[in-house]
C-alpha cells in the first residue's frame, strides 16, 4: 500500500479504534482527528530506531489476540512512519532501560503526516517489563493501549494497578502518571489535545525500585 493510502487508512483505523470507547478524553481526541484528517499530507522522512522492534512484536501479539484488522492497518503504515525517542528527561532520572526501549511516531502533529501545531496523535511503544517512571506534562493526554496488561499509578507512592489492553487512560494537565508493561510490549494510540509544545517533566519518586520489581499478575 502506498503512503497516500496507508497513512489516511491508519488514521481511520485509529479513529475507529477510539470509537469503541466512551470514557474521558475520547471525544476530545476524536474531535482533533476530525479537524486534521483532511489537511494535505506533509512530507515525513520515515525512520526506525532500535526500539521500533517492540512495535513489530506488539503487532504480532495484537494479531494473536483478535486485533488483526487494526494491526494490519498499522503494519501497512509502518514503512512511512518516523519513529523516534521522546525523552526530554535527564537520563539518570528516566533510567537507561526505558530510554533505550521506547519509540513514538507522530501521525498528527508538527512533525506528523497531518500537520498541526496544537494537537498531537500517534503511536507510542516501549519494551516488555519496563517502567515509564512518574512524569507529568501540560498537555492533557489520552493513552489507548492496544496491548496489555499494564500496571498504572496516578499518585505518588501508590502501587501499580494492572489493567488489560483496551482500557484507555486519560491524564489531565500536569497529573502524575507512571506505568509499566507486562510480558508484552506496551503499544498505544496517544493523543495530546493542547499545550503540546511544553515538554514533559519527571517527578522523582523514592520507590522506583519497587516499580521495577513489580510483576504483572
Ligand atoms: Fe504522559
Q: What is the pLDDT of residue 87?
A: 84
184 CA to middle of ligand 1, Å? 19
Which residues are found with C-beta within 5 Å of the ion, ligand 1? 141
**Mean pLDDT computed over 26-45:** 97
Distance CA 210, CA 202 (A): 17
**Mean pLDDT computed over 38-55:** 97
Distance CA 123, CA 107 (A): 8
Determine what percent of the chain is predicted with pLDDT higher than 90.
Answer: 99
Q: pLDDT category, 179, cuts 50, 70, 90?
A: very high
C-alpha cell at 57: 512484536
2 CA to middle of ligand 1, Å? 32
Q: Let me know if 97 is exposed, middle or buried by CB neighbors in 10 A (0-12, 13-18, 19+).
A: middle
Distance CA 120, CA 128 (A): 25
pLDDT tens string 181-204: 999 999 999 999 999 999 999 999
Is pLDDT at 109 greater than 90 in this prediction? yes
204 CA to middle of ligand 1, Å? 15
Q: pLDDT category, 119, cuts 50, 70, 90?
A: very high
Is pLDDT at 28 greater than 90 in this prediction? yes
174 CA to middle of ligand 1, Å? 9
Amino acid at each position: 500500500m502506498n503512503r497516500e493510502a496507508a497513512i489516511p487508512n491508519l488514521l481511520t483505523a485509529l479513529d475507529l479504534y477510539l470509537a469503541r470507547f466512551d470514557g474521558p478524553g475520547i471525544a476530545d481526541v476524536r474531535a482533533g482527528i476530525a479537524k486534521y484528517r483532511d489537511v494535505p499530507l506533509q512530507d515525513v522522512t520515515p525512520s526506525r530506531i532500535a526500539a521500533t522492534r517492540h512495535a513489530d512484536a506488539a503487532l504480532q501479539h495484537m494479531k494473536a489476540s483478535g486485533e488483526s484488522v487494526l494491526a494490519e492497518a498499522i503494519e501497512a503504515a509502518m514503512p512511512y512512519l518516523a519513529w523516534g525517542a521522546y525523552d526530554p528527561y535527564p537520563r539518570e532520572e528516566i533510567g537507561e532501560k526505558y530510554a533505550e526501549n521506547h519509540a513514538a511516531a507522530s501521525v498528527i502533529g508538527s512533525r506528523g503526516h497531518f500537520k498541526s501545531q496544537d494537537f498531537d496523535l500517534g503511536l507510542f511503544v516501549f519494551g516488555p517489563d519496563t517502567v515509564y517512571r512518574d512524569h507529568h506534562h501540560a498537555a492533557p493526554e489520552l493513552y489507548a493501549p492496544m496491548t496489555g496488561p499494564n500496571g498504572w499509578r496516578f499518585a505518588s507512592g501508590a502501587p501499580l494497578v494492572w489493567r488489560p489492553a483496551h482500557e484507555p487512560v486519560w491524564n489531565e494537565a500536569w497529573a502524575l502518571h507512571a506505568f509499566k508493561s507486562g510480558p508484552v510490549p506496551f503499544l498505544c494510540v496517544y493523543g495530546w489535545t493542547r499545550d503540546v509544545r511544553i515538554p514533559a517533566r519527571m517527578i522523582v519518586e523514592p520507590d522506583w525500585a519497587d516499580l521495577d520489581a513489580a510483576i504483572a499478575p
